[in-house]
Structure 1
Amino acid sequence: MEKDIMNEEHVNSATKEMNEQEHVTTENVSSSDSSNSVEENTNVSEIEKLQLEVADAKDKYIRLYSEFENFRRRTAKEKIDLIKTASEDVLKEIIPVVDDFERAFKASESENNAANVREGNLLVFNKLVKVLEGKGLQVMTDIIGKPFDADTQEAITQIPAPTEDMKGKVIDVVEKGYTLGDKVVRYAKVVIGA
């Protein structure tokens, strides 16, 4: 019987030790689980932070790229406009010569021996006009009878309109207007009906 008691005590102490070991292992597992979940939360939050930083950097890059593209297009357009109107000053100086030719034609119409003079003037005039047109200079045409346009015309004076429908419209052109591309080089000087 003594042996049985001893065996029973031995079994009880072994069982107790096993229970204590299981308890310690359970605590270790639960503590390691909680530390793993903290590490996972930390890793997840760090990943989310990095993803937000990448998205922010990508957004900044796209905006910067768009701004650069807009700048490049604007600069290219300004360069093209500059090339189109580069000779504007020279053309402005040549326009009065064209006006003088037109006046000479009118004066030579009344002279008897003016046929040769007129023909020579006409040749020079046509050549000069062809050069100017080659450079992009265009005469404003078909102005008479159209409504006054302050963007392309300069009103010299107003006279009573010959008819009611001519009020506010161009009656006569004193000096022709010229454009270079889409830009007005010289405004047409006109008389409008009042």
Structure 2
Amino acid sequence: MHPDADPDKNAETADNSVEETATQETQPTPEPAAAEASADADPWEQLEAEAAKWKEVSLRTAAEMDNLRKRTARDREDAIRFANQRLLEELLPVIDNFEMGMQAASQDQKSMIYIGMDMVRRQLNEFLSNQGVEEINATGTFDPNLHDAVSSEEAEGEEGQILRVTRRGFRLRDRLLRPASVIVSKHPAEEGAQ
């Protein structure tokens, strides 16, 4: 007898192949390209969006670093340019007192004391100039950014003009060290207004 002649085995094998064929017909098989496109569309878009986001973050961080570098360089320059500001501010009252001594000694300009003090004054002025210190011009119209009005006096002419300087003012490059103390003019009071 032939091995395929067993009727029970042949019926079972036929049933299995009918089931496989029926299963294949009921489940639609997607085309490989369409299945790949639908599965990959969302991840690629997500990856591209994330890459764009990180690129933007990277560019923003690079710009912030560049700004920080520039700000740090500017702060360092200012620190160097104005490193002596506090020392110079504390030196100004000493210079004021020295000038009062010069005025007192100017009664006898041929004395050795006056000649020595004049040499020191010139050295001080040269030192201040080398450090970038300039005297504030205290003539003309009063400027509240540069001048400190300590008093006002009646005077003919335009109001707000500087009449006298009571204490010299100085600036360190473009920064104010001390305003000039000045007396400014005001219009004379009318006699009938009293």
Class of the TM-score when normalised by the shorter of the 2 chains: 0.7 to 0.9
Are 2:77 and 1:93 equivalent residues in the alignment?
Answer: no
Q: Provide Cα deviations, 1:31-89, integer angstroms capped at 9, x if missing partner.
A: 332x5313212223322211111110000111111112212221221222122222222
**Whole-angstrom distance in 2 between the partners of 1:81 and 1:49:** 48
* Shift, 1:108, TM fit: 2.6
**Whole-angstrom distance in 2 between the partners of 1:139 and 1:127:** 15
What residue is the counterpart of 1:58 in the other structure?
55
2:30 to 21, 27, 32: 32
What residue is the counterpart of 1:169 in the other structure?
161
Q: Secondary structure at the match of 1:37?
A: helix
**Whole-angstrom distance in 2 between the partners of 1:110 and 1:43:** 100
Q: Secondary structure at the match of 1:138?
A: strand
Are 2:117 and 1:121 equivalent residues in the alignment?
Answer: yes
Q: Provide Cα deviations, 1:121-155, integer angstroms capped at 9, x if missing partner.
A: 111110111112212222112x2112x22222211
Are 2:39 and 1:42 equivalent residues in the alignment?
Answer: yes
What residue is the counterpart of 1:13 in the other structure?
none
**Whole-angstrom distance in 1 between the partners of 2:91 and 2:115:** 21
Q: Percentage identity across aligned positions?
A: 27
What residue is the counterpart of 2:176 in the other structure?
184
Report how many residues are paired.
162
**Whole-angstrom distance in 2 between the partners of 1:62 and 1:153:** 47
What residue is the counterpart of 1:137 in the other structure?
133
Q: Provide Cα deviations, 1:74-127, integer angstroms capped at 9, x if missing partner.
A: 12212221222222222122222322332233223323x744332221111101
5 Å-filtered alignment, 1:141-160, equals: 141=137, 143-146=138-141, 148-160=142-154
Decide whether aligned partners of structure 1 residues 51 and 122 sit closer, same or farther in structure 2, where only a CA change above 3 A counts.
Answer: same
**Whole-angstrom distance in 2 between the partners of 1:185 and 1:132:** 12
The gaps in structure 1 that reach 5 residues or longer are 1-23
Report the TM-score when normalising by structure 1.
0.73
Decide whether aligned partners of structure 1 residues 114 and 81 sit closer, same or farther in structure 2, where only a CA change above 3 A counts.
Answer: same
**Whole-angstrom distance in 2 between the partners of 1:173 and 1:131:** 23
**Whole-angstrom distance in 1 between the partners of 2:72 and 2:155:** 47
Moved over 4 A (4+): none
Give the alignment's Cα RMSD to 1 decimal: 2.3
Residue type matched to 1:117 in 2? Answer: I
